[in-house]
């Protein structure tokens, strides 16, 4: 037995913690309009409305991290054991996840202003890298049979591989769109978030019923 | 067996993390009076006293998130398995929970100033949406018998459904009051928080004694 | 069987999360000296040294929350089940814990300036209330035999009750000292933190060896 | 049986929380360039590029905390029980971990400016203390046979002791280098982070296969 292979319990707990914190820190990007700049209720309302890019960025990033968590969950329901490489790839994924609040904040600040193309490119670029790292983690995990649970439905796992592979391609499309039309670029990210949220069926990859 | 149905272990752990972080981030809204603006002890004390809306908003939001966590706990003690819809509704609930620090901060900033009605409306509006999403999650969970534990006390569960349904109605009342009298509006939120804290009896819905 | 009594698993997990976040947020109070105000290395060093109250407040609060977590752990190793009152007292304790970063920040800002007595009074006052709430939680838990594990060493538990009861009295002393001598007041808090850290022996209260 | 010895379950969970939060808070050090100072896309891009020390500090600290978590994990897979001293040493380690975001932020602010040597010295000094505390924790744990699992591979454990002992020495080298060449100093930290990431083989110290 390869001694460098270990269980995944604390790895998952630590990752869950990082996902939960990253998703909750996003709200710190939404700033309260300064009292000194909003003389009355109407002005406050206008200021709050004017912040719509912040809310949009908030929801998009929330959705993206949540979906990434779901899919992380999917991987680790199939994986029974971890080795050094899987650990490092997971660390790389968490590095990307914890970084997300920064481009989110950048995007929120610059939408509708000069520099919004750069901000959207940094945002979609980050999500592209995130999707690539996720795919590396997935490919590595599913290509090491000794790390996986024995009761895997291989056909279904292949379908997942194909679906996940669309991620980097489509986020790259959003990245290219960022230089042309920021709204369209973010729309792609939102659609991707919602789409990837739908087929949450790790249970289906296991041939017998899943018990957790 | 429907393969898209999975266990709830990591879903609960992730949700617990989000609740715990959201509730702890609230304190960041309480600002330390600037040294440059408080020449002596008496002025510092006055500045700290003048911040009472911040403390009030802090306690109200703490109470609301804590109670929401208790009731989230109640749902998932009855639910044995999760499916896609339950997962998405839970994600929507967490989106609302992580958002709470923003309206809390807004309310703290504007109480006693022009614009306090708008701030209170955003605050109570958020809590109303939160209560609606919670009810959607509850209705969905209790109407899918295959997701529930087999030993449910149906009569008691119905009573819970009735009690929970009061939430959106009463928060809507607080929302309407926000445009009339901010203090009364927040008072309703505090009373709701305390009231919903009382009947924490998920154990009672299970016919046999609960073991966790 | 009283149906309002439930297990403590998720209660502990949620509390642990709150303690861990509160203790980690403390570092946000330590500000980096502004580049514009520190022309060279010597000035930066002087600015960093001048921030010693911030480091002191950081370590004191870290110690206090850590010790509070240890003792919270002690209570819940003895408690087997939770009821509504225990839950509410725990919520009150968490409210105090999440509040600690604010008086810590206040103390760090005002030590050595006018207003330091007020800041130290708010700080030690918060710790006094925290100690009182902790004792309420402890008294309630140990006086409800049906909530406790059956294998409690009653004599030892009584000794704990006596030791814990010193907490509010000594923090109250620190509170009074805050108006006279800030340094002495904080010294009492540090000594209390270290002292309460020592007798971490919940295992000893259980008559048979503890297995977790 | 020594009654002051207890299990490590909640100790690990609490530590995991602190590690996860500290690693995620690092992103708050990366500031969004102010809209008012970046007139167009080119200037925003230049501002983002000019922030490279922030990204470097972010990645270095992320790596360091992650590796520290891995090695913390290694210790607690070998340790079966905790006592007062182990608990206090663990608390000291967590104090250092939660402090890391501050020197990270300091380093990011001062690289390339007057005062960068002081900032790098504070940064590498913190990591040196962290490495020393980690070694104290390790030495204490492995020298108390009653705290360890019975199936330890002693030869391998000795090799770990030798590898870990390099940490403080090499971070001390980075600390000395900070006064001479900041880039070289940080390079040592990055190399150390990556190197310590590689031999993640706690399983190997256990003579039979590890099951978690």
- Note whether B21 contacts C: Cβ–Cβ < 8 A: yes
First to last CA, chain B: 26
Chain B hits for A40, CB-CB cut-off 8 Å, are 114-115
Cα–Cα distance, B200 to B204 (Å, whole number) = 9
Is the separation of the CB atoms in B135 and B59 below 8 Å? no
B36 reaches C (C-beta below 8 A): no
For chains B and C, CB pairs below 8 A equal 106
Q: Are A98 and D25 in contact (CB under 8 A)?
A: no
For residues A182 and A109, the answer to whether their CB atoms sit within 8 Å is: no
Distances (CA, A) of C97 to A49, C8, C159, C209: 35, 19, 25, 31
* pLDDT on residue B206: 46
Do A19 and A68 contact (CB within 8 A), yes or no?
A: yes
Let me know: does C9 contact B212? Beta carbons within 8 Å: yes
Q: What is the pLDDT of residue C7?
A: 64
B129 lies within 8 A of chain A by CB: no
- What pLDDT score was predicted for residue C95? 94
Q: CB distance B20–C25 less than 8 Å?
A: no
Of C4, C14, C110, Cβ closest to residue B20: C14
Assess contact for D120 and D185: CB atoms under 8 A.
Answer: yes
- pLDDT score for D210: 38
Three-state SS at B81: strand
D127: tokens are: 């990591």
Higher-confidence position of A90 and C196: A90
Does residue A112 sit at the D interface (CB-CB below 8 Å)? Answer: no
Which ipTM score applies to this complex?
0.82
DSSP at C36: G
Q: Judge: D14–C19 Cβ closer than 8 Å, yes or no.
A: yes
- The upper half-sphere exposure of residue D100, i.e. CA atoms within 13 Å in the direction of its Cβ, equals 32
3-state secondary structure of B4: coil
Query: C185 pLDDT band (50/70/90 cuts)?
Result: very high
On whether the CB atoms of residues A51 and B87 are closer than 8 A, the answer is no
For D74-79, what is the mean pLDDT? 82
> Closest to B117 (Cβ–Cβ): which among A41, A69, A201?
A41
| Contact across the interface for B118 and A210, Cβ inside 8 Å | no
* CB proximity C194 to D under 8 Å: no
Cα A196 from Cα C166, distance rounded (Å): 56
Task: Identify the CA nearest to D139 among candidates D178, D114, D113, D168.
Answer: D168
Percent of chain A with pLDDT over 70: 89
Q: Using alpha carbons, list the distances in angstroms from residue D204 to B1, C27, D11, D155, D163.
A: 40, 36, 23, 11, 15
How far apart are alpha carbons C207 and C151 in whole angstroms?
Answer: 6
Closest of A92, A113, C167, B182 to residue D194, by C-alpha: A92
Nearest-CA residue of chain A relative to B86? A200
pLDDT score recorded for residue C71: 84
Lowest mean pLDDT among B195-199, C97-101, D90-94: B195-199
Provide the CA B96 distance to its chain's centre, in angstroms.
9
Q: Inform me whether the pLDDT recorded for D25 exceeds 60.
A: yes
Please state, in angstroms and rounded to a whole number, the distance separating the CA atoms of residues B51 and B36.
Answer: 17
Indicate if the pLDDT at residue A194 is higher than 80: no
Domain ranges of chain D: 9-205
- pLDDT at res. D207: 42
pLDDT at B29 over 60: yes
Residue C13, C-beta contacts closer than 8 angstroms, at least 6 positions apart: B13, B16, D13
Say whether B148 sits in a helix, a strand or coil. Answer: strand
Which H or E run contains A73?
helix A52-78
CB contact under 8 A, A117 and D28: no
Confidence band of C197 (pLDDT split at 50, 70, 90): low
State the average pLDDT over residues A149-157: 78
Which of D6, D94, D115 is closest, CB to CB, to C210? D6
Q: Is C152 on the interface with D (CB under 8 A)?
A: no
Contacts of C50 (CB under 8 A, 6+ apart): none
User: Of the ranges A107-121, B134-148, B190-204, which one carries the lowest mean pLDDT score?
Assistant: B190-204
Q: Which of A102-116, A182-196, C74-88 is predicted with the least confidence, judged by mean pLDDT?
A: C74-88
pLDDT of residue A198: 59
Q: Which partners does chain C have (≥3 C-beta pairs < 8 Å)?
A: B, D
Q: What average pLDDT does chain D have? A: 83
Q: Model confidence at A179, in pLDDT bands (50, 70, 90)?
A: very high
pLDDT at B4 over 60: no
Chain A residues with CB-CB distance to B101 below 8 A: 27-28
B192 touches chain A (CB under 8 A): no
pLDDT of residue A98: 93
A19-23, A129-133, A204-208, D123-127: least confidently modelled range = A204-208
Q: Work out the minimum CA distance from D52 to partner chain A, whole angstroms.
A: 14
Which chain C residue shows the shortest CA-CA distance from D92? C63
> Measured on CA atoms in the order A198, A202, A203, A205, is the torsion positive or negative?
positive
First-to-last CA distance in chain C?
26
**In the predicted structure, residue C81 carries a pLDDT above the cut 90:** no
Do D14 and C69 make contact, defined as CB atoms within 8 angstroms? yes
The residue ranking higher by pLDDT, A143 or D84, is A143
CA pair distance C40, C22, nearest whole angstrom: 34
Q: What angle do CA D135, D140, D141 make, to 5 degrees?
A: 100
Res C205 pLDDT > 80: no
Q: What is the DSSP letter of D33?
A: P
State the pLDDT at residue B5.
Answer: 52
Query: In B, which residues are within 8 Å of C7 by CB distance?
Result: 210-212
A5 pLDDT above the threshold of 60:
no
Instruction: Look up tokens 């409305």; give the residue.
Output: A49
- How confident is the model over B62-79, as pLDDT tens digits? 988 988 888 888 888 888
What is the reported pLDDT for C207? Answer: 43
Percent of chain C at pLDDT > 70 equals 89
Residue B10 in tokens: 């990591």
Contact C1, B199 (CB under 8 A): no
Q: Which chains touch D (3 or more CB pairs under 8 A)?
A: A, C
């Amino acid at each position: 037995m390869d001694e460098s292979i270990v269980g995944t319990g604390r790895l998952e707990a630590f990752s869950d913690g990082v996902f939960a914190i990253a998703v909750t820190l996003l709200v710190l990007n939404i700033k309260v309009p300064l009292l000194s700049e909003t003389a009355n209720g109407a002005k406050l309302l206008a200021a709050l409305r004017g912040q719509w890019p912040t809310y949009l960025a908030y929801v998009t990033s929330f959705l993206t991290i949540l979906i990434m968590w779901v899919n992380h969950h999917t991987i680790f329901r199939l994986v029974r054991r971890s080795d050094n490489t899987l650990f490092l790839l997971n660390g790389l994924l968490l590095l990307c996840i914890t970084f997300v609040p920064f481009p989110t904040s950048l995007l929120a600040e610059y939408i509708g202003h000069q520099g919004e193309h750069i901000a959207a490119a940094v945002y979609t670029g980050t999500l592209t890298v995130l999707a690539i790292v996720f795919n590396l983690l997935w490919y590595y995990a599913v290509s090491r049979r000794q790390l996986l649970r024995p009761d895997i439905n291989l056909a279904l796992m292949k379908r997942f591989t194909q679906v996940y592979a669309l991620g980097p391609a489509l986020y790259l499309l959003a990245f290219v769109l960022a230089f042309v039309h920021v709204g369209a670029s973010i729309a792609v990210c939102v659609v991707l978030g919602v789409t990837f949220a739908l087929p949450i069926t790790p249970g289906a990859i296991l041939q017998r019923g899943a018990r957790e």
